Amino acid sequence: MSRSTARPQVPLTELIPPHVTVLVPWVAEPTDTDVARLQAAVSSIQPFELSFPTAGQFPNGTAWLKPEPFDQVRALLHAVIDAFPECPPYGGEFPDPHPHLTISSSDRGGPDVVAEANAALAVTPAPTTRLTELGLWREDAAGVWAQIGAVPVGK
């Protein structure tokens, strides 16, 4: 079970559900104008089928699942990033982020987690879901994330 490096006693899924980060940090206190700007940024991207068929690992050890179709997911990220130049991804640390769904934090990841995930995916393919909206999330003082809204993808 993956855990937060900031709160190792708490499983990640108790802090935030599985997700693909689009842009963090985003606007601290989003206004209606910010939400409208986000909606405009994704209005030309039509909903699409999304799956996570393979696992990989970042150099720091974080294990992840790769979203497919990868190029469509990356285009969605860049549409949002381009619409909010005042919010560089990961505070500017990763200006061209790699879309992913984290399955194990850096201190608990490693090749074994990736191998186990890929073996499981070879036996039982990942389910497919339809991406129809972007969730808007906020982290509270205890480090727990909650959804505060959503923006539909497409028109």
Domain boundaries, the chain: 32-152
30-39, 69-78, 134-143: lowest mean pLDDT where?
A: 134-143
Residue 118 pLDDT exceeds 50: yes
| pTM across the whole model | 0.85
Q: What is the pLDDT of residues 33-53, one digit of tens each?
A: 999 999 999 999 999 999 999
Q: Which residues are within 8 A (CB) of 123 and not within 5 positions of it... i.e. 6 or more apart?
A: none
Identity of the residue numbered 53: P
Beta bridge partners of 134: 151
Mean pLDDT of the chain: 88
Residue 76 pLDDT exceeds 90: yes
Residue 122 pLDDT exceeds 60: yes
Q: What is the pLDDT of residues 92-102, one digit of tens each?
A: 998 889 999 98
**CATH superfamily label, 32-152:** Cyclic phosphodiesterase (3.90.1140.10)
Residue 7 pLDDT exceeds 70: no
Contact 10/89 with Cβ under 8 angstroms? no
Determine the pLDDT at residue 17. 76
24-28, 75-79, 106-110: lowest mean pLDDT where?
A: 106-110
Nearest to 27 by CA among 76, 86, 80: 86
